[in-house]
Every structure is written in structure tokens, then in C-alpha cells.
Amino acid sequence: MKRRSLIVLLLLSCCAVLVMVSCSRKSDSNVFELAGNPSSFKATLMDDGNYGYILRFEGSGEISGFASEKDAPWYSVSGRIKGIEFPEGVTAIGDNLFSRCVYLESVVLPKSVRRIGKSSFSSKTAVCSYSAISAPEGQNVYIYAEEKPSDGGLYWHLSGGEVIMWDLTKVLFIGNSFTYYNDMEKIFNDLASKAGLNVSAQRVSAGAYTLEKLADPNDKVGAIVHETLNGTDDFDVIVLQEQSTRPITNVDKFSDGVQSLVSLISKTQKNCRIYLYETWGFPAGATIVGLDVPQMEAKLYESYTTVANELDLTVCPVGKAFLKVYTEHPEIELYNPDGRHPSPEGSFLAACVHAAEILGIDPKGLELDGFKSQDVLASAAYDVVNK
């Protein structure tokens, strides 16, 4: 009887041990040990609370790589890894470790890292280092810089704890329907991309709005302008567009609106260039102000350049480009059927002028889908900017 009881106790003990081992393996299923030099590394997958993972490393020295990306122990969840944390003391990162982590937008390497291997990271990941490191061809490595360098290289910095690439040019358009028709800022983005530039353009706009209302924090759209500008300090360029006839009918109000927004921009942005978006003459507007289309454009241009000179701003001469095409190529329809707003070609022309003036690119030959007469429009934009 005692012997039988002893056997039962031994069996129960073994089961308990097996349960403990099983539970241990389950709890450690997101913990991996990796080879390294001079010692191994521990890597832990942690839930980021948004159906993703943060992969955190512990150890120092060189993290050994793998012969294939499929050998990485986190391969099956690579698409959910959105952050990787390395401790100071890591000196090198081996081959094929994170190449399948395609949703890893950026990774900050510790200052101790001197080398990364072949396919260490996806080509979509911005690798951020504090100094120059050895990296395989085709892998972009961004170098830390407190201030935005002027040499056009790849640099990064921290803003509010977030990684920001210095090569990114952030542009904000503030205006009304002359700005938002046909998603003009997206056309501007696409032209920049075709020219090989990294630009992020956005807009705050509302139909028939004046700059005075857009500068008013008590106005519902003006409040959005204030929220946008107070929410970040790193816009590189801001473009201001006034209501279509106000620069002619009420120059003082136009000037006051510009000055209010310039003051707000100066208080909220670190290093921002401000442009005025000169709009175009159009038949209905010309009738309202008692002019023809060329005369209306001339008055608009005069008003925009006067205010720009007073405040040391730059004019994007979209109206000049419109007039050039309007007079030299009347077969090209620049206006929407309402005779006021831009057609798709009119918005393409406006975007070309902004791209040439703000980014310094030649829009000729930067073909986009969905627009007619692109060669003529791009040439007109380039000519008026570089006259």
C-alpha cells in the first residue's frame, strides 16, 4: 500500500513538473536567446497595445545574424513589429535580422553601433544613427543633427520624442477653394516625388474664406489653423492664399490678414519660409472689379508683391502663369465650368508654379496621370518663375 502511494506521489510530482515546464515555455514564447559576440543576447517581443510589437534587446557586443530572413525567431510576426529597442553597448547588427519588418518606419541605433549587416533592415526602414556607420549599399542611414543641415544629405532629429527626418520638407497651404480644388497640394506632392524630393504637403482651407477669417482663432476654420500651427513647430514652408478679389477690393484687409498669419507663424514655427499664392484673373471676377482678365491679374500681382515686399515674403506667381497660358494657348481650358475655379489643368499649372518657386525644381518632363497639355503648362510655370 505504501509502495502504491509512493508511486502515485511520484506520478503526481512528475505531472506537476511537466505543467510547470509547459507554463514556462508558454510564458517565454516571446522571449528569444540569440547568438552574439562576445556573449548571447536576449530579445523580448512586447505588445504595443495596438496589435503590434516592440522588440527589445538586452546584451552587448555584436548581434549575430542569420543565413536567411526566415531563420529569425520572430519571422512569423515580422509584419507586426513596429519598434525595436537596442541598449547602449551593441556594436554591430548582423545579416537578415529585421528585413521582413516592413512596417518598422524607423529605428534609432545606440551610439555604440559601428556596423550593420546585409539585409539587417527593410529598405523601407529609416535607420537612424548618431554617427557614420558601415552599412550595405542601398540601405539609407540618417545621421543625427540638432539643426537642419544645408548640404542636402540624410539627417534626423527628435521632436517631442518622435523621430523626424530633416530631409522631409513639410509644406502647409492655407487658403480657400482656389487651393483645395482638384487636391492641388497632392499634385504638388506628386511633382516633388517625381523630382526625387521628399515632401509632405497638407492644407487648411474653406470655400470663400479670407485670410482675415483664417487668422481668427474664434472662427471654426481659423481655430483649425491655430491648432495646426500650435501643434508642431517644424513646418518648412507655409503658403497663404487670399480670397480671389480682396487684394483688389480691400488691400488693407488683405494686408492685415497676411500680417496676422505671419505673426502667428513666427511665434509657432522654428524656421519657416512664407509664400503668398497669387491667384488669377477670371471673367466673372474681372467684371465685378470693372476690369478685363489681364488687367485683373495685373492688379492682383501688384497687390501681392506690394504686401510681400513690405513683409519680406516671396510670391508664387500662379496668376502670371495663368495669364501666360490664357493669352498664348486659349485652347487650354484653365477654368472650371463656373469660370472662376481651376480646372484640373489649372490646378496642375498652380502646382507647377509652387514646385518651381518653393522647391526650385523644373516641372518640365515630370509627367503625371490625368492632366492634358502638361508640357505647355509646366513650361509656362517654369518661365514665369525664372523670368
Residue 131 and residue 180 in one domain: no
Cα(214)–Cα(258) distance, rounded to whole angstroms? 10
Q: What is the mean pLDDT of residues 208-233?
A: 97
> In the predicted model, what is the mean pLDDT of residues 73-102?
96
* 275 compared with 164, residue with greater pLDDT: 275
CATH number where 209 lies: 3.40.50.1110
| Percent of residues, the chain, with pLDDT higher than 90 | 78
From 165, 192, 221, give the residue that closes a domain.
165
Measured distance CA(317)–CA(327) in Å, rounded: 16
- The predicted pLDDT at position 150 comes to 65
For residue 138, pLDDT beyond 80: no
Range of weakest confidence among 96-100, 184-188, 283-287: 283-287
- In tens, the pLDDT along 300-355 reads 999 999 999 999 999 999 999 999 999 999 999 999 999 999 999 999 999 999 99
Q: Of 165, 185, 214, which residue sits at a domain end?
A: 165
Instruction: Compute the average pLDDT of residues 251-258.
Output: 98
Strand-pair partners of 183: none
Residues 107 and 226 in one domain: no
Q: What is the pLDDT of residue 151?
A: 65
Q: Kindly tell me if the per-residue pLDDT of 269 is higher than 70.
A: yes
pLDDT at 204 over 90: yes
Give the model confidence (pLDDT) of 352-368 as tens digits.
999 999 999 999 999 99
Asked if residue 342 and residue 211 are part of one domain, the reply reads: yes
C-alpha grid cell, residue 72: 529569425
Q: Is residue 135 part of a domain?
A: yes
What is the residue whose three cell numbers read 492641388? 184
pLDDT at 270: 87
* Angular region, 347: left φ>0, alpha ψ -120 to 50, beta rest: alpha
Q: How many domains does the chain have?
A: 2
For 267-287, what is the mean pLDDT? 94
Q: Are residues 364 and 249 in the same domain?
A: yes
93 falls within a domain: yes
What is the mean predicted confidence (pLDDT) over 285-293? 91
When mean pLDDT is compared across 34-48, 152-166, 177-191, 320-334, the lowest value belongs to 152-166
- Say yes or no to pLDDT of 157 above 70: yes
Q: Which domain holds residue 234?
A: 169-385
202 pLDDT above the threshold of 90: yes
Give the strand pairing for 141-144 and 155-159: parallel
Same-domain status, 135 and 254: no
Query: Can you tell me the distance from the alpha carbon of 341 to that of 190, in angstroms, rounded to the nearest whole number?
Result: 21
CA-wise closest residue to 32 among 41, 23, 24 = 41
- At 369, the amino acid letter reads D
Indicate the pLDDT class of residue 152, thresholds 50, 70 and 90: low
Do both 148 and 221 map to the same domain? no
What is the Cα–Cα distance from 125 to 141, expressed in whole angstroms?
A: 9
Q: Which residues contact 182 (CB under 8 A, 6 or more apart)?
A: 342, 343, 344, 346, 347, 348
Confidence of residue 158 (pLDDT cuts 50, 70, 90): confident
318: Cβ contacts below 8 Å, ≥ 6 apart: 277, 278, 279, 280, 349, 350, 353, 354
- Contact criterion met (CB below 8 Å) for 41 and 58: yes
> Does 375 lie in the same domain as 227?
yes
Is residue 9, in this structure, part of any structural domain at all?
no
Determine the Cα–Cα distance for residues 121 and 222; give it in Å rounded to an integer. 43
The answer to whether residue 252 scores a pLDDT higher than 90 is yes
* Contact criterion met (CB below 8 Å) for 255 and 188: no
pLDDT of residue 16: 39
* DSSP state string for 145-208: -SS--SS---EEEEETTEEEETT-EEEEEEESHHHHGGGHHHHHHHHHHHTT--EEEEEEE-TT
Q: Quick one: pLDDT at residue 133?
A: 97
Of 165, 192, 215, which closes a domain?
Answer: 165
The cell for 232 is 508642431
* pTM recorded for the entire structure: 0.63
Q: What is the dihedral of CA 176, 180, 181, 183, to 10 degrees?
A: 170
Q: Is the pLDDT confidence value at 20 over 60? A: no
- The larger pLDDT score, comparing residue 285 to residue 354, is at 354
In a domain, 229, yes or no: yes
pLDDT of 8: 41
For residue 214, is pLDDT > 80? Answer: yes
Average pLDDT over residues 80-108: 96
